[in-house]
């Protein structure tokens, strides 16, 4: 496994309005190391895109003067130390189009690892040239074009103009955009998009929850937790994550032994499920639920019996 870390050299964050920012809370960088506040209004104005602030009064994002040599020096030293201290293998750089392009070559050189930038723009002639400043970018032009194609809204032309398509990050869902099933209920189209993600020229990126067909809309609905909470009481929480169902208890070791009927597990009727922690077996009822023995406040982790084959767990 390789470790890729998301970094944001464009801005800091402050919980409040832009005019209330306490610059004293930031380490190393001082107030003079940030651009004066201006709201971002014209995305066609590159100077405004790079110098004005993201965020709002819920979370101000003071925009860093990355064009300042002193700031760039500190940022380069920081990323070199971060990569070294945590043995990082690659960087996903956020908000790339909001930073002056000349900042990135020394930054990535200081990091000494693969750099992939987020340039959230569908225009190929705008996004792909950023490959001249770092190894890779997320393939937003393909994302927008193919999304329209598979939603049968338009056709796709083959003119990309990118430096190296094999290094582009191929994706069709992420935390900033509506999930693909939000736009179409046709499962065959979803499968085609996943096939292109994995088998296309670029580096495939699968967003958590995509494998479970999550269908959330715009942020924050696109950021749903992967683990589903099925039931929540004062003493028990029932969770579902793909094939694994979990029952948690807050009663502690003095809890009595009792039987809990699960909720929302949706196991296949008549199948046998196994508690991977205690190895107890249960038969699934006609409603897809099981009656689980709760003992001494211990957790229960249930999977269908077939899933344990060859695992060495519970004698399988």
- pLDDT tens digits, 289-312: 999 999 999 999 999 999 999 999
Between strands 4-7 and 300-304, the pairing is unpaired
Give yes or no: 94 in active site: yes
Query: CB of 260 within 8 A of CB of 307?
Result: no
What Rg value do the Cα atoms of the chain yield, rounded? 25
In the set 63, 118, 121, 236, the catalytic residue is: 118
Residue 100 neighbours by CB distance under 10 Å: 17
Model confidence band, residue 150 (pLDDT cutoffs 50, 70, 90): confident
Query: CB of 99 within 8 A of CB of 66?
Result: yes
What does the alpha-carbon distance between residue 28 and residue 43 come to, in Å, rounded to a whole number?
30
| Percent with pLDDT over 90 in the chain | 79
Give yes or no: 118 in active site: yes
**Mean pLDDT calculated for residue range 5-13:** 98
Instruction: Please report, for residues 15, 45, 95, 263, the alpha-carbon distance to residue 98 in angstroms, rounded to integers and kept in the order given.
Output: 20, 11, 6, 47
CATH topology (fold) of 228-315: Immunoglobulin-like (2.60.40)
DSSP 42: -
**Of 171, 239, 240, which Cα lies nearest the Cα of 206?**
171
Name the CA dihedral angle for 219, 222, 228, 233, rounded to a multiple of 10 degrees.
10
In the set 48, 67, 74, 94, the catalytic residue is: 94
At residue 224, the pLDDT reads 79
Residue 236 neighbours by CB distance under 10 Å: 19
How many separate helices (H) and strands (E) can be counted in the chain?
A: 7, 16
The answer to whether residue 157 scores a pLDDT higher than 60 is no
pLDDT tens column, 177-201: 999 999 888 989 999 999 999 999 9
Query: CB of 137 within 8 A of CB of 119?
Result: yes
Partners of 237 in the β-ladder: 232, 248
CATH topology (fold) of 4-223: TIM Barrel (3.20.20)
What does the alpha-carbon distance between residue 35 and residue 285 come to, in Å, rounded to a whole number?
63
Query: CB of 169 within 8 A of CB of 203?
Result: yes
At residue 160, the pLDDT reads 59
Domain ranges of the chain: 4-223, 228-315
What does the alpha-carbon distance between residue 67 and residue 2 come to, in Å, rounded to a whole number?
31
Between 216 and 294, the higher pLDDT residue: 294
Please report the DSSP string for 5-27 in residue order: EEE--SB--BSS-GGG--GGGSS
pLDDT tens column, 128-147: 999 999 999 999 999 998 88
Model confidence band, residue 231 (pLDDT cutoffs 50, 70, 90): confident
Residue whose tokens read 């999550």: 214
Average pLDDT in the chain: 92
């Amino acid at each position: 496994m390789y470790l890729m870390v998301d970094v944001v050299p464009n801005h800091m964050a402050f919980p409040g309005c832009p005019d209330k920012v306490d610059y004293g809370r930031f380490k190393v960088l001082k107030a003079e190391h940030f651009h004066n506040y201006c709201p971002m209004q014209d995305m066609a104005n590159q100077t405004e895109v790079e110098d004005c602030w993201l965020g709002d009064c819920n979370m101000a994002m003071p925009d860093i003067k990355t064009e300042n040599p002193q700031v760039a020096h500190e940022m380069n030293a920081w990323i070199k130390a971060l990569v070294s201290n945590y043995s990082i293998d690659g960087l996903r750089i956020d908000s790339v189009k909001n930073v002056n392009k000349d900042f990135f070559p020394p930054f990535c050189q200081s990091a000494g690892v693969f750099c992939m930038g987020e340039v959230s723009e569908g225009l190929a002639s705008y996004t792909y040239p950023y490959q001249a400043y770092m190894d890779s970018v997320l393939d937003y032009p393909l994302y927008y074009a193919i999304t329209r194609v598979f939603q049968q809204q338009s056709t796709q032309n083959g003119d990309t103009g990118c430096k190296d398509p094999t290094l582009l990050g191929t994706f069709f869902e992420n935390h900033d955009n509506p999930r693909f099933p939000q736009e179409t209920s046709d499962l065959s189209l979803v499968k085609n998009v996943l096939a292109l993600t994995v088998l296309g020229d670029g580096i495939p990126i699968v967003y958590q929850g995509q494998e479970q067909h999550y269908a959330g809309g715009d942020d924050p609905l696109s950021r749903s937790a992967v683990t589903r909470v099925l039931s929540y009481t004062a003493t028990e929480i029932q969770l579902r994550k793909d094939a694994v169902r979990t029952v948690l208890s807050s009663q502690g070791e003095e809890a009595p032994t009792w039987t809990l009927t699960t909720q929302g597990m949706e196991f296949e009727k008549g199948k046998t499920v196994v508690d991977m922690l205690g190895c107890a077996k249960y038969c699934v009822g006609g409603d897809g639920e099981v009656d689980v023995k709760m003992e001494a406040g211990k957790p229960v982790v249930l999977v269908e019996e077939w899933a344990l084959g060859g695992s060495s767990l519970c004698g399988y």
